[in-house]
Amino acid sequence: MTLRRWIFALMLCCATAPVFAVTPALPAAGTIETYFTPWDDAEGAIIRTLGEAQQSIHVQAFLLTSRPIAAALLAARTRGVAVAILADQEMLRKGDNSQLPKLAAAGISLWLETRYASAHNKVMLIDAAEAGAIVITGSYNFTWSAQARNSENLLILRQNPALAQRYLANWQRHREGAQPYGAGGIDGR
């Protein structure tokens, strides 16, 4: 291949390649709690942390079948905390034990992600717009199996407002592309 053809091929390749954003590193701040199941009580840590919410809880869930976690979300809503959930539509369709319909019926805002092969995020943001924001994330699905049968990890990251804002912006970006539960026949079945 001549140099001219090689440069032309490179230009074609680069012109059609996706452009990914480069995000700046965030400064380390706050505290980190680590949990590893089945040995640590990750579910209990989530429930205790949800009990600290004063303003808002934003959830991204691949699965949510844990009744205690669902009860903690309902309790937060009852205390006046705004609770909003994004969930994977296919997993809701497949899951017989999903707590999502119950949460939606109780008035918790629920949107279903349909754009991706798998909306695999497992995130909870507590008071994300506040200085004491909390980010919960890891491989841990919000299920009984994640606590009792699986090998999972969970991080609870406190007092890092820049991190919480980054996660909240991502949550909002996903929310813009999600469908409201119950709208246009999107009810998980």
* All domains of the chain in start order, with CATH: 30-182 (3.30.870.10)
Q: Return the structure tokens found at 139.
A: 């491989």
| pLDDT of 58 higher than 90 | yes
Which amino acids are annotated catalytic? Answer: 120, 122, 127
Alpha helices in 79-181 (DSSP H): 89-94, 100-105, 144-148, 161-176
| pLDDT at residue number 91 | 78
Exposed e or buried b per residue across 129-155, where buried means at least 16 C-beta atoms within 10 angstroms of its C-beta? eeeebbbbbbbbbbbbebbeeeebebe
The tokens 């034990």 sit on which residue? Answer: 97
Residue 172: phi, psi to the nearest 5? -65, -40
pLDDT in tens, 153-184: 999 999 999 999 999 999 999 999 999 998 65
What is the CB neighbour count within 10 angstroms for residue 114? 13
pTM: 0.85
